[in-house]
Structure 1
């Protein structure tokens, strides 16, 4: 089984406003992008389970000319709450690195 970190040159996460997080998947080339961009491991159900989100609210954007998939999901609580542990959501991508794609 191929894992996400094996076919991406970079994976990052960041805020997409105070209520959403975006994960950017930069595939290591157009071949792996074409092979895995629609993989079950990157489906709304799998991503929602990893982040505790509603699958109906997970959004996916494929950027073919860049070999990038962007996945956005709503934060559990707005950015900047009293118990915030990752204010900029810069560490959230780690949950997907070992996701099996095939």
Structure 2
């Protein structure tokens, strides 16, 4: 079964301020980007499930057609740099997206 990492050239996470993390997914082709947007592949329920959050903690999901990209932003479980925060820069949080399975009918 194909995974998100098979159709994306970049999947990354980063700090979006002290209280938010953002995930960027840049698709290799316009067709895969359009398919992902059309099928709502990246949606609040999915992001909440992958990161153990409530859907209300998914602050935004934005498609950016010029870059064939989707950006999802979540509320950080702990503020950046707080006691217990394990990734102050948010750069290691994208791993659950890498192996996200695609529908069997994805070309």
SS at 1:88 equivalent = coil
Instruction: Structure 2 unaligned segments of length 5 or more: list them.
Output: none
Aligned residue in 1 for 2:12: 12
1:92 aligns with 2:84: no
4+ residue stretches of structure 1 with deviation over 2 A? 37-41
Q: Please tell me the root mean square deviation across aligned C-alpha atoms, in Å.
A: 1.4
Q: Show the 5 A alignment for 1:19-98.
A: 19-39=19-39, 41-58=41-58, 59-98=60-99
> Number of paired residues?
102
Instruction: Give the TM-score, by structure 2 length.
Output: 0.87
1:56 is displaced (CA, Å) by 2.4
